[in-house]
Amino acid sequence: MVLVDFVNFMRMTLLVIISGGIVIQAVLYPDYPLTAELFRRTFHRAWFSLFLTPISDLEGSERCNTTRSHMTSDHCVVGKYADYTCPNTGFWPYVFSIQYFIFLKLILLTLLYALFSATASKLQSETDAIWKFQRYQLVVDFSNRLRLPPPLSVFSYIIIFCKWFYRCLLCRICKTSDETDAGVFFDAPKGHRLTEKDYNYWRQLAQEYAKKKEDEENEKQIAKKQMEIIMTITEDVDYQKKVMHQLKSRMKELDRMMNYSHVYLENIKHITEKINEKGLQSQRAIHCLSRHTPYPGTRVQRYPVPDKYVPWEVMWTDYDPVAYTRPRSDFPVSLQAYVDEDLLLLREIQDSDDSQLPVFQWNCLSSNPAGISIDRTSWIIGENGINAVYKLDSERVPRNIYGRTGLRGRGALPRWGPNHYVHVIITRWQKSGGKGLEFVVMRGERRDQLSLPGGFVPGEQKYDVVRMLFKSKELAPSSWNTQENMIDFFRNCCEVLQEEETPAEVKCEMIKRGYMDDPWNTDQAWREVELWHIHYSGNETLAQCFQALLTWRLITEDVFIKLPSGQAMLLQEITQKLQPVIF
């Protein structure tokens, strides 16, 4: 490798020597004739500059001052002197000479040192092995040579023969030899064997090799032990993580149980407050039914919401309820045309691309592309006497005006925000006498399922949902556009037995118009109800106009269980006002 580096160095150096020698010779002696002496002087000056620094030619000579050049017609002189052996001094000889010395003395020699250093660094790891191998070759070479050089080698053969003959006589002929190095360390005809010194050398090499292998094995064992320790620590950390995760889960479960316990205690308090009107108002103000869990018809559990965290104005950073929205296909066929899209699901599927989501006109009356009129205004009357304006939450859907319910999404309601319902409670005193009160109920699919007459209002004709439950009379309008049409219908159902008797009195009044506390409410969809009370104080013929689902029923304790809890609260308001006997 060193020889290769030196050859490469000399190739580069020759280029500099040849070019520099020609330039310096031409600058110092421009008029020197083209002879063999010229090439000798050029080579001599350039080559020996590797070892010397010839600068005497740059100083000039005193004898040359008397031989100034003069132009003649015979020849043209380029230099300053007529004698071509006189060196020309000046600026350019110095420049080219200094340039040549810098390249030769500084750059090229430094490059040579760098090449040797790079080669030495490459061979540093193998230097000891190379030296041992070369020493091994030297030892083997000398062990195979004779004691005396030619032509005296014949005496060496005589000595070898004598030794062999002597050993044969003493029966000490070596019968075994090292098969591996038989041709190297033991020559049977010559009877050569390794000396004690040679054995020590190879023993040392064997010990070094064994020590090296032992160190490598120890390093492997150390790495293996370190890996085992790391694995043990990792298992301990994983176990600790598992324990911490279990503790965290238990803490969350305890926190959830505490919240549920708090909510259940508040529910017990609300139940005890039902005995007076003040309790009913308090219960309605914090919409207790809207926080009942699980959600009706599902196993979805609401996030427990204590009374103090119901208002949105109270900050609650841990509030993280689940979302539930009933698919449109699960609604009755007659109602599917009025069901809103699941905005939360669409926003999640489309990666928050709101440009492709349906646009709803909140807090106003509008029409959808199918021409269906949709009233998204709230029926809740504010303190200033006008309809309340609900706000939108961070998901750009309406936010429940009355506060948190523990559940996000549209729930089982058809629309986001306010869902308008019209219900009528039609009562009469028990015909058999007594203080019992009867009311009109609408039977459901199951025998024990009851509900108040009325239902969801999809458009502007909000009283048609009540009209469809009764048979139309002659000369009666086909559609109830106003509340007067509904009131006239119920008044016309009063019975007059004789002409001189006055008709039975019927009382029609709107009991409530606004928020309805109901288990179907969520944080982003809620029920709003317009409740009418129709009370007959005498005979009536209303039963003749009933559709198949309507019937009179006596108000008993089990009625409040069979009715939906939200409607049961509405009926309880009527019973508290009339004070009937409940069996």
**Per-residue pLDDT, 424:** 96
Q: Which residue has the tokens 């090229």?
A: 108
Residue ending a domain, among 273, 299, 325, is 273
> Does 323 fall in a domain?
no
**Per-residue pLDDT, 299:** 92
**Per-residue pLDDT, 329:** 92
* pLDDT > 70: percent of the chain: 85
What is the spatial distance between Cα 492 and Cα 488, in angstroms, rounded to a whole number?
6
Helix (H) or strand (E) holding 561: helix 559-562
> Does 293 fall in a domain?
no
Do 97 and 220 sit in the same domain of this protein?
no
Out of 47-51, 293-297, 364-368, least confident range: 47-51
What is the spatial distance between Cα 160 and Cα 7, in angstroms, rounded to a whole number?
47
What is the spatial distance between Cα 574 and Cα 428, in angstroms, rounded to a whole number?
12
CATH number of the domain that 445 lies in?
3.90.79
DSSP 554: E
What is the spatial distance between Cα 554 and Cα 561, in angstroms, rounded to a whole number?
14
* pLDDT > 90: percent of the chain: 27
**Per-residue pLDDT, 281:** 44
Residues 6+ apart with CB under 8 A from 480: 461, 463, 464, 466, 467, 486, 489
Residues 6+ apart with CB under 8 A from 305: 263, 291, 319, 404, 405, 406
Confidence of residue 66 (pLDDT cuts 50, 70, 90): low
Residue 262 has pLDDT above 80, yes or no: no
**Per-residue pLDDT, 390:** 94
Do 117 and 21 sit in the same domain of this protein?
yes
Task: Find the Cα–Cα–Cα–Cα dihedral 352, 357, 362, 366, rounded to 10°.
Answer: 170
In order of 329, 445, 458, the CA distances from 334 in angstroms are 11, 16, 11
DSSP 472: P
Give the DSSP per-residue string, 494-510. Answer: B--SSTTSPPPPEEEEE
Residue 228 has pLDDT above 70, yes or no: yes
Do 115 and 10 sit in the same domain of this protein?
yes
Find out whether 11 and 3 touch, Cβ atoms under 8 Å. Answer: no
- pLDDT: is 271 or 122 the higher one? 122
Do 115 and 262 sit in the same domain of this protein?
no
What is the spatial distance between Cα 20 and Cα 97, in angstroms, rounded to a whole number?
8
- pLDDT: is 110 or 277 the higher one? 110
What is the spatial distance between Cα 565 and Cα 295, in angstroms, rounded to a whole number?
12
Mean pLDDT estimate for the chain? 82
Residue 78 has pLDDT above 60, yes or no: yes
**Per-residue pLDDT, 187:** 47
What is the spatial distance between Cα 481 and Cα 493, in angstroms, rounded to a whole number?
19
Q: Which residues pair with 494 in a beta bridge?
A: 540
**Per-residue pLDDT, 103:** 85
Per this entry, what is the length of the chain? 583
pTM of the entire structure? Answer: 0.56
Residues 6+ apart with CB under 8 A from 444: 450, 451
Do 571 and 425 sit in the same domain of this protein?
yes
**Per-residue pLDDT, 121:** 79
Out of 21-35, 71-85, 553-567, least confident range: 71-85
**Per-residue pLDDT, 273:** 66
Q: Quickly count: other Cβ atoms within 10 Å of residue 386's Cβ.
A: 8
Q: What is the pLDDT of residues 322-367, one digit of tens each?
A: 999 999 999 999 899 899 999 998 888 877 566 778 888 999 988 8
Do 208 and 117 sit in the same domain of this protein?
no
**Per-residue pLDDT, 1:** 65
What is the spatial distance between Cα 511 and Cα 570, in angstroms, rounded to a whole number?
9
> Does 541 fall in a domain?
yes
**Per-residue pLDDT, 18:** 86
> Does 178 fall in a domain?
no
Find out whether 534 and 541 touch, Cβ atoms under 8 Å. Answer: no
Do 535 and 445 sit in the same domain of this protein?
yes
Write out the residue range of the structural domain in which residue 31 sits: 1-126
Residue 521 has pLDDT above 90, yes or no: yes
Give the DSSP per-residue string, 87-113. Answer: PPPSHHHHHHHHHHHIIIIIIIHHHHH
Give the DSSP per-residue string, 175-225. Answer: ----STTHHHH--TTTT----HHHHHHHHHHHHHHHHHHHHHHHHHHHHHH
Q: What are phi and psi of 36, to 5 degrees?
A: -65, -30
Residue 427 has pLDDT above 50, yes or no: yes
> Does 299 fall in a domain?
no
Do 117 and 208 sit in the same domain of this protein?
no
Confidence of residue 224 (pLDDT cuts 50, 70, 90): confident
Number of domains the chain is built from? 3
Q: What is the pLDDT of residues 142-170, one digit of tens each?
A: 877 887 888 888 888 888 888 888 888 87
DSSP 371: -
Do 105 and 227 sit in the same domain of this protein?
no
Q: Which residue has the tokens 């609260």?
A: 569
What is the spatial distance between Cα 444 and Cα 455, in angstroms, rounded to a whole number?
13
**Per-residue pLDDT, 249:** 85
**Per-residue pLDDT, 140:** 82
Residue 98 has pLDDT above 90, yes or no: no
Residue 534 has pLDDT above 80, yes or no: yes
Residue ending a domain, among 126, 153, 186, is 126
Amino acid identity for residue 157 in this structure: Y
**Per-residue pLDDT, 152:** 83
Residue 4 has pLDDT above 90, yes or no: no
Mean pLDDT over 82-91 rounds to 74
Q: Is 570 strand, coil or helix?
A: helix
**Per-residue pLDDT, 270:** 66
Query: Which residues in 125-148 are b (16+ Cβ under 10 Å) and which e?
Result: eeeeeeeeeeeeeeeeeeeeeeee
Residue ending a domain, among 109, 126, 143, is 126
Confidence of residue 520 (pLDDT cuts 50, 70, 90): very high
Residue 189 has pLDDT above 60, yes or no: no
Out of 216-220, 437-441, 563-567, least confident range: 216-220
Mean pLDDT over 279-291 rounds to 61
> Does 387 fall in a domain?
no
Do 234 and 104 sit in the same domain of this protein?
no
**Per-residue pLDDT, 177:** 45
Q: Is 387 strand, coil or helix?
A: strand
Do 233 and 102 sit in the same domain of this protein?
no
Do 122 and 243 sit in the same domain of this protein?
no
Find out whether 380 and 387 touch, Cβ atoms under 8 Å. Answer: yes
Residue 313 has pLDDT above 90, yes or no: yes
Joined tokens for residue 426: 């039609």
**Per-residue pLDDT, 178:** 46
Confidence of residue 79 (pLDDT cuts 50, 70, 90): low
> Does 10 fall in a domain?
yes
In order of 83, 453, 530, 572, the CA distances from 426 in angstroms are 146, 9, 14, 13
Instruction: Name the nearest CA neighbour of 389 among 366, 420, 361, 363.
Output: 363
**Per-residue pLDDT, 176:** 46
**Per-residue pLDDT, 194:** 56
Instruction: Name the nearest CA neighbour of 551 among 466, 471, 468, 440.
Output: 440
Mean pLDDT over 291-307 rounds to 90
> Does 440 fall in a domain?
yes
